[in-house]
Structure 1
Amino acid sequence: MPDLLAEVLATPGLVWLVLTISGAGIIRGFTGFGTALIFVPVAGIFLPPAQVVALITLTGVASMAALLPRAWGQAARGEVTILVIAALITVPAGIWLLGLLDPVAVRWIVAGIAATTLAALVSGWRHDRAVRLAGLATIGAMAGIVGGLTGLTGPVVILFYLAGRQAALSVRANTILFLAALDVVIVINLLWRDAVGFDTMILAAFLSVPYFCTTLIGQALFDPARERLYRWAAYGVIGLAVTSGLPLWN
């Protein structure tokens, strides 16, 4: 045990990782998403992309007990199921691309996805039409590829829901349910490919403690009546990811 703790404490940028995952937990509990958008760009400064993807999905699985019970009864489970099934099929393609691309290129992709999401939302783009089966499957498939490649499991689905007309309560619940399921899918794929080392599992367990606690704090702060605040908090999270994740800061 002392050796394992020493290994965790020797992780590059550990203090920043703990602070970042703690802040991300508050945002995740409040908005239903945001952990990857905050954590991935910062973690990418200190750790290789493959380890970052493993960490963000493993800690995501660990946070399920804090968020899933309430979200389960509020989510449109049939709709989310279609998204998850499509993502399950395409996650391996994203992980395959992760192994091919240069780490700096992956970081630029992360920043680009976050920036595109932010621009679309802040511009006021909205959709009013009901999205049918094919559309949901396409959205889920895109989310699977992006999640497997970058660890950003949320942006595609977040854009879909925040650009719609659903209430904040429903958007939050659907997003929580989808992200939880996709985290499990990515973890299974990583384990199957032997892409997760024991050291990464220990570090994920260490980071899960502050993340779980701050997620509960964020959930306690959520108020469906403050929908405007909800949306702008979401926009702020994405903006933070864009600025902090640029490789220019190295």
Structure 2
Amino acid sequence: MAWLALTPAEIMILTAICFAAGVVRGFSGFALSALVMASAALILPPIQLIPICWWLELSASVLMARGGWQEADRRIVWGLVITSALGTPIGLWLTTSIDVESSKLIALCVIITLAALQLAKIRIPALASRSGLYGAGLLAGIVTGLASVGGMVIALYVLSSDTPARKMRAALVLFLFLSSVTSLIWLFWFEMMNQQAITRGVVFAVPAIAGVYAGMKLFTPRFEPYYRPFCLTLLCGLSAFGLLRLTLS
């Protein structure tokens, strides 16, 4: 507890959050960080949650990378990864430049907005172009640095192209795996990946990994039509709850 700088109650809550987020990640291929940010932003500020989420995403990506590499469109994924790397420092600069309460508010607003757009099945034709590909990657990098939810932007991009659920999941898995390398560089550059963040990340990666295994077992053809609405509805609910708590506090 001394190493984590958290109370026993906070450790238990974060453990449960990481496990549940891992289940969703294993099932859908994304939303791990978004769920953690939406649920835990009232315990830790985003600037402390972002490096923890990096460890959780890396752990999940290692487990799921094989399927992503085999099924994803690698040309598109590489375009998203490169432009995302350019946007990440912009988001991190915003996160480290504003006060904690504003950072929480922005992070939760980003999550609920992106989730609502996907839940409403909003399709943006411009995203189907080359400039749309690069724009989606850049925006994903910015919100990764700001709220660690770049996967939501990529999911919105894939949704606009009517990609089948299995290929969408594979593209998200591969994107999150490859982009974790550039994200780590920027986290060290902004001095956010310190000893405490590493300790917390490694500890909470354990329940996240257990959740990912459980979620992967649920990803069967029978449940594929339902996985996206479930995850997005959950994200909207958690974000709305977090915004309400933040407003009333």
**TM-score in terms of structure 1 length:** 0.90
Contact 2:115 2:232 in 1 (8 A): yes
From 161, 170, 177, give the equivalent of 1:164.
Answer: 161
Q: Aligned-pair RMSD on alpha carbons?
A: 2.0
1:7 corresponding residue in structure 2: 3
1:235 Cα deviation (Å)?
1.8
Contact 2:39 2:239 in 1 (8 A): no
2:82 corresponding residue in structure 1: 85
* Segment of structure 1 superposing worse, 58-67 or 209-218: 58-67
Contact 1:36 1:152 in 2 (8 A): yes
Identity of aligned residues (%): 26
1:248 corresponding residue in structure 2: 247
Contact 1:85 1:140 in 2 (8 A): yes
Equivalenced residue count is 246
Contact 1:57 1:184 in 2 (8 A): no
Q: Distance in 1 between matches of 2:127 and 2:5?
A: 49
Contact 1:94 1:147 in 2 (8 A): yes
1:27 corresponding residue in structure 2: 24
> Residues 133 and 35 of structure 1: is their aligned pair in 2 closer, same or farther, counting only changes over 3 Å?
same
The correspondence of residues 173-188 of structure 1 with structure 2, limited to 5 A, is 173-188=170-185
1:192 Cα deviation (Å)?
2.6
**TM-score in terms of structure 2 length:** 0.91
> Residues 129 and 142 of structure 1: is their aligned pair in 2 closer, same or farther, counting only changes over 3 Å?
closer
Q: Distance in 2 between matches of 1:115 and 1:124?
A: 14
Q: Distance in 1 between matches of 2:12 and 2:83?
A: 37
Contact 2:115 2:152 in 1 (8 A): no
Asked if 1:111 is matched to 2:134, the reply is no
The correspondence of residues 62-73 of structure 1 with structure 2, limited to 5 A, is 62-73=59-70
Could you tell me which runs of 5 or more consecutive residues in structure 1 were left unpaired when the two chains were aligned.
Answer: none
Q: Distance in 2 between matches of 1:231 and 1:213?
A: 21
Q: Distance in 1 between matches of 2:24 and 2:41?
A: 19
Q: Distance in 2 between matches of 1:129 and 1:110?
A: 25
1:61 corresponding residue in structure 2: 58
The correspondence of residues 97-246 of structure 1 with structure 2, limited to 5 A, is 97-127=94-124, 131-246=128-243
1:243 Cα deviation (Å)?
2.2
After TM superposition, the runs of 4+ consecutive aligned structure 1 residues lying more than 6 A away are: none
Contact 1:34 1:234 in 2 (8 A): yes
1:26 Cα deviation (Å)?
0.3
Contact 1:153 1:182 in 2 (8 A): no
1:16 corresponding residue in structure 2: 13
Contact 2:92 2:146 in 1 (8 A): yes
2:37 corresponding residue in structure 1: 40
* Segment of structure 1 superposing worse, 131-140 or 110-119: 110-119
SS at match of 1:145: helix
1:249 Cα deviation (Å)?
5.5
1:40 Cα deviation (Å)?
0.8
Contact 1:153 1:183 in 2 (8 A): no
